[in-house]
Amino acid sequence: MADAAAVEMQAMNLETEKQEVVAALAGAFGVAPPIDTGLTLDEKYALCRSVGEECIQEEELRLLLEKKPVPICYDGFEPSGRMHIAQGVMKCLNVNKLTKAGCHFKFWVADWFALMNNKMGGDLKKIQKVGQYMVEVWKAVGMDLTRVEFIWSSEEINKRGHEYWPLVLDIARRNKLARILRCTQIMGRSETDDLAASQIFYPVMQCADIFFLKADICQLGVDQRKVNMLAREYCDDIKRKLKPVILSHHMLAGLKQGQEKMSKSDPDSAIFMEDSEADVKTKLKKAYCPPGEVAGNPCLEYIKYIVLPWCGVFSIQRPDENGGNKDYTTYEDVEKDFVDGALHPGDVKPALARHINVILQPVRDHFVNNKEAKALLDTIKKYKVTK
């Protein structure tokens, strides 16, 4: 019995030492230490996979979660204006899922990239103000920041230029101009546009960011797919076996008919994170929502990707003669009733506005009650958004 107890104690000590080594290594690489998520590998995988409309490759994601104690996820964003609900609420949902699964999330605050893409008229000080505002929004809406890191591109590249620029140049020399031009959609441009030289260099630098930040998972929108694939192709070029996993989230449609995604330069195309209750009601009242039609219906997308994941329920309130109140807990049930005519746009829009306003209220309160946040918002509202 004594021998068995000694063996058990030795095993416990070895496990403790192993955890300490893993935690020390995590700290050395600038990531949060491992946590006991209480999740099985299958549960971790399902949670992470639910973030992406597309995953390249699923087996690589599963292996990553099995083998690496703290996978590093990354997303980069241009500070380019007020934050819409997809960037605010959907991103919060996705980040919280990934950190719950034990990942460390790096936000690349791409101020230099916004400058290269002529956002805020190319004024870096304005761009950085917008970046500060966006971080405030995520804090207010409920993003769990315990395993989240915000890294400003201008600061980090200046600090570690000896690592960054050789990587950028190597990616550039290994790719033809035509391949890079195919990536220009990542910044809302087309390869047929009259591009500035900085905009041609932009995709090369974004590709380099993935390796510079040591990202295991690229968690960006499907509109960023081409440059993420460029990163995987670069791994082939340099004979690197471990490629970044691409976990691309859905791009929420704009509120107007035919708008494939929201636009910050068109205030009526989206709900913004600090819109007033009246703004939300007005925008959704005018939103495209043809009876019985699912394809291209932004109101249904808001229910599927915002309300149900956040609230867990979509509640309709209406008189008994119009069908009475009803709670939906799955999107499939919402869609079925909408297609069958049991759920009318006149039911959907006020209910959607009510739920969205509940979600946004903490953000509104933060920008009213916090002096620094209020000053930031007042400042950026005066800025002209440039494409």
Q: What is the DSSP letter of 34?
A: P
Place of tokens 């008229």: 121
Whether the pLDDT of residue 12 is over 90: the answer is no
Report the share of the chain in percent with pLDDT over 90.
75
Instruction: Mention every residue, 6+ apart, whose C-beta is less than 8 A from residue 80.
Output: 114, 117, 119, 120, 127, 130, 264, 385
pLDDT tens for each residue of 74-132: 999 999 888 999 999 999 999 999 999 999 999 999 999 999 888 888 999 999 999 99
Q: What is the DSSP letter of 326?
A: E
pLDDT tens for each residue of 282-336: 999 999 999 999 999 999 999 999 999 999 999 999 999 888 999 999 999 999 9
Cβ-based burial of 196 (10 A; exposed 0-12, middle 13-18, buried ≥19): middle
Which contacts qualify for 306-309: CB closer than 8 Å, 24 or more apart? 306/85, 306/89, 306/90, 306/252, 306/356, 306/359, 307/352, 307/355, 307/356, 307/359, 308/334, 309/93
Q: What is the mean pLDDT of residues 262-290?
A: 91
Phi, psi for 195 (deg, rounded to 5):
-90, 145
pLDDT, residue 10, reads 60
Residues pairing with 11 in the sheet: none
Longest dimension (CA), the chain: 79
pLDDT, residue 22, reads 39
